[in-house]
Amino acid sequence: RWAAIGVAIGLVCPLAARAKKPNKPPSGDLHLVELHPSADQYASARSINDAGIVVGGVDGIPGFWNAREAAPTFVPLRGGEGVAFSINEDGEIVGWGPNGPSYWASRHADPVDLPMPTNATYGWANGISLDGVVVGEVGLRNDDDTVTNWAVAWRIHDLGVFGPVLLSVGGANDVACVAPGLHLAVGRSADVDFGHVATAWDLELDPDGSFTFTGSTNVAPGHSAEAYAITDAGDMTGIVKWGGGIENTAFVIRNGSLILLSSGGNNEYGVGYDLNDAEVVGKTGRWWLSNTMTATQWNSRNKRQDLVRKYFGYGWPNTSAEGIIAAGEVVGFGTLGAWLLRRE
């Protein structure tokens, strides 16, 4: 269980400049870069860090692209099949591998299998903070042979891996250091009235490399919802079912206030997957017609913009924006594969 992997222990949050806030105003226009290894391969881009390393997968193999290359080339991660879901600013990567939740200390490192409960049948890691806190989801087999998904957390440190710690029935998507020694993980937890609710779990870091789960908060009370991303400032985004109908709407929480984001026109579906200090990215469309889904960005005034219409120059059906960095560069994927909007 304790495999040394050489990550330092700390109780101090990273510098504010790392909280998806640009050190200087972004310059240059965004331009589309297609991340297609070849016409007969399917690629997905899931996350990007400020250094320009994009992670995702191609045909069931986890890997990365370097967005600073003129023509980024896909490089597989070590370890075989899977997909990379998230990369932090130190270049640590998490995702899914042959044995379940996986961690790579760098894009050139061997994978580390994150431990799962003995009754787990599957699992994956969705997010990692700069302090090595990892969150994800595992499926636990019940006594009646059914399987229930649980939100789970680990911590990577210089002694190895602490965890898994089960948070609640549901799933955890992202985690951030919001105060010295305090992390918030976000996702969904089961709820009797609404099926599931958007949840933030409090994780207090301990000096020995462990952490303590101290409680949780419903961040969008009164509605079925899920949170997908959080910044070090505590801002969040996700999806909420609003008004008792079929509409699913993207939301953002800034300075503790929940704001609904327009899905545009006759669209009945919107979701936010990532955010920086000013913008949110995700997708919008008509829930009953998947090929209308389009990568979407909402600016600091919460105004919606169709990224495909503005930057792609032609139709990419069923497209989603998955990650954004401080400079406003965006990654995502759709039916036609992976892409990057890069400043040039």
pLDDT for 258: 95
Give 236-289 pLDDT, tens digit per residue: 999 998 655 557 999 999 999 999 999 988 888 999 999 999 999 999 998 666
| Rounded Cα gap, residues 268 and 249, in angstroms | 8
Give 160-203 pLDDT, tens digit per residue: 999 999 999 999 999 999 999 999 999 999 999 899 999 999 99
| Rounded Cα gap, residues 305 and 344, in angstroms | 20
Report, as ranges of residue numbers, the positions in the chain whose pLDDT lies below 50: 1-11, 15-18
Show the tokens assigned to 293.
């889904």
* Distances from the Cα of 66 to the Cα of 33, 110, 123, 286, 322, angstroms: 12, 19, 27, 33, 17
| Rounded Cα gap, residues 264 and 277, in angstroms | 22
- Cβ distance 161 to 210 under 8 Å? no
Show the tokens assigned to 125.
């890691």
Show the tokens assigned to 165.
């710690």
pLDDT for 158: 85
